[in-house]
Structure 1
Amino acid sequence: MSTRRLRLLSANIQAGSSTRGYHDYVARSWSHVLPAGNKRGALDAIAELAGRHDIVGLQEADPGSLRSGFTNQTHYLAERGGFAYWSHQPNRRMGGVASSANGLLSKFEPREVANHALPGRVRGRGVLLASFGNGEAALTVAVAHLSLGAQSRRAQLEFIAELLGDHPHAVLMGDFNCDPDRPEMQPLYRHTRLQPPADCVPTFPSWKPQRAIDHVLVTPALAIATMQALPAAQSDHLALSVELDVPERAFE
């Protein structure tokens, strides 16, 4: 069976803000709500990284609020990174001055893109679902940013499991806010073909990675050739870069 090698990236970009240590969460908290700092330079660095990939899933991309200078960061990264197709899913609004979104950048045309709101104690999380190709062999890529609370994460993962079901060629990427062996992850593994990662790559915090909370999960029909963590400018998360072998028929 012929395959195509794809490069995927999952990145929590923290809206282009800079966090170089826990002290910055307080000392630089203004950068999360105001259009200050070198956010444009950070976005350019992220665009250069993203442009080396075929499909990119973004978390915490600002869709165009005060803190980003009313720049839709997903669109900006698509243009700077050379992506013909992009989509975003605004989900959380913070005090009228900041907003957050999941984003998808792709060099291949999706057949369909759908946005779904996720359940949770605090509303505002979502999953962005893109399909490439047709029929049962189609490639499905989901991008999500899960809640901090375990109970909400479990409900969200159960919802995502219903969406992905028994799909043979599925990818779920994003910021899960938990390790892959947490109890709330088990419904996902039981009710889909997605598998726990063979290797846990620490991604958080970016300046001293200790926790594997960002993941790219795939079904057995998709073979991961390489996986590595890379800086996403000065975000508090490292990005995950994956080389994936996908059956050619998934794009037919």
Structure 2
Amino acid sequence: MSRASWCSKRKPRAPASARPERLPVAARRQADGTDATRAAVAPATLRLLSCNILAGASIARYRQYFTRGLTQVLPGPGKQANLDRLADLVAQFDLVGLQEADAGSLRSGFLNQTQYLAQAAGMPYWSDQPNRRVAQLARSANGLLSRMAPREVLDYPLPGRIPGRGALLARYGAEAAGLTVLVAHLSLGPKARARQLDFIAELLQGRGATVLMGDLNCAWPGPELQRVFARTQLQPPDDALPTYPSWRPRRAIDHILVSDGIEVLRRWTPPQAFSDHLPLAIEMRLPRLPPRA
């Protein structure tokens, strides 16, 4: 475990294709916990989004994994346009979890995509967790964008035979009345996923209001997520929405799971496809919330 850096937005070096009006966003001071320890505000709602963005690549058919193979490892104007479209959606939410964002490598034009999306969408706080690096070609990362200042952000590597998976945990508000949000991208193999889900369950045990979001690579209904439901206050969703593949969704492998006591007002998949996964969104109500920035 390590303490992840939580960043106020800073202006990234944007490629020429970026929209100029989006870049000059006033910098916020780095979150040091002061804002997050103020008294919680009255009951309100939060909108959450989770999205596997495939480093900005757009895939609309299975065959494109092969026919567009070079676009997976090379930058291009299509990726930038895709990120700009995603930023329009991100701007409608309070907390956003990203998976397969690129933290700055050849395939993204050495752009930190989490930072860029935070800036373009006007999100005051962002953090990323690079997990797997392939030379200078790719740096896969989890990301978290937020309108609220966190008390702390922690970076956990997940167990697995092949390293390169992680969980990014952020805590908001006072301990008793706060919110814990964990963003994760789990392995493809069921044995590795089982170990990772056990690890996540241990991390989330005994916490108050909790959200687990990300590409968990396992469907609900199904036995795998029971490992988490049995050991935490997280509840099975009333409706598991299919998100993969984005062009004909059949599998509900992307999830936003909330603990008992959090009221889910709405759960939906925005129709825009930004990668091979559809985004997943919820609107939820907490009894008490940390203050918004």
Q: Is the 8 A contact 2:56 2:275 kept in 1?
A: yes
Aligned-residue identity in percent: 53
Aligned partner of residue 110 in structure 1, secondary structure: coil
Deviation larger for 93-102 or 9-18: 93-102
Unaligned runs of 5+ in 2: 1-40
Q: Who is 2:180 aligned against?
A: 140
Q: Who is 1:251 aligned against?
A: 290
- CA displacement 1:30-54 (0-9 Å, x = unmatched): 1111113511100001110000000
Aligned partners of 1:95, 1:63: CA distance in 2, in Å? 13
Q: Letter of the 1:251 partner, please give it.
A: P
Structure 1 segments (4+ residues) deviating >4 Å: none
Q: Is the 8 A contact 1:63 1:73 kept in 2?
A: yes
CA apart distance, 1:179: 0.4
Q: Is 2:225 aligned against 1:171?
A: no
Aligned partners of 2:187, 2:222: CA distance in 1, in Å? 14
Q: Is 2:276 aligned against 1:230?
A: no
Aligned partner of residue 225 in structure 2, secondary structure: helix
- CA displacement 1:170-215 (0-9 Å, x = unmatched): 0000001110233222221111000111101010000000110000
Q: Is 2:126 aligned against 1:86?
A: yes
Aligned partner of residue 170 in structure 2, secondary structure: strand
Q: Who is 2:58 aligned against?
A: 18
CA apart distance, 1:166: 2.3
Aligned partner of residue 230 in structure 1, secondary structure: coil
Q: Who is 2:115 aligned against?
A: 75
Q: Who is 2:245 aligned against?
A: 205
Matched residue pairs, number?
251
Q: Is the 8 A contact 2:118 2:124 kept in 1?
A: yes
Unaligned runs of 5+ in 1: none
Q: Who is 2:20 aligned against?
A: none
Q: Letter of the 1:206 partner, please give it.
A: S
Aligned with residue 191 of structure 2, among 132, 151, 164: 151
Q: Is the 8 A contact 1:127 1:142 kept in 2?
A: yes
Aligned partners of 2:130, 2:273: CA distance in 1, in Å? 22
Q: Is the 8 A contact 1:32 1:98 kept in 2?
A: no
> After the TM superposition, which residues 17-56 of structure 1 pair with which residues of structure 2 at under 5 Å, given as runs?
17-56=57-96
Q: Is the 8 A contact 2:102 2:113 kept in 1?
A: yes
Q: Who is 1:183 aligned against?
A: 223
- CA displacement 1:104-123 (0-9 Å, x = unmatched): 00011111111000001211
Query: What TM-score do the two structures reach when normalised by structure 2?
Result: 0.83
Aligned partners of 2:269, 2:287: CA distance in 1, in Å? 25
How well do the aligned residues superpose, as a CA RMSD in angstroms? Answer: 1.4
CA apart distance, 1:234: 3.1
Q: Who is 2:163 aligned against?
A: 123
Larger Rg: 2
Q: Is the 8 A contact 1:43 1:77 kept in 2?
A: yes
Query: What TM-score do the two structures reach when normalised by structure 1?
Result: 0.96
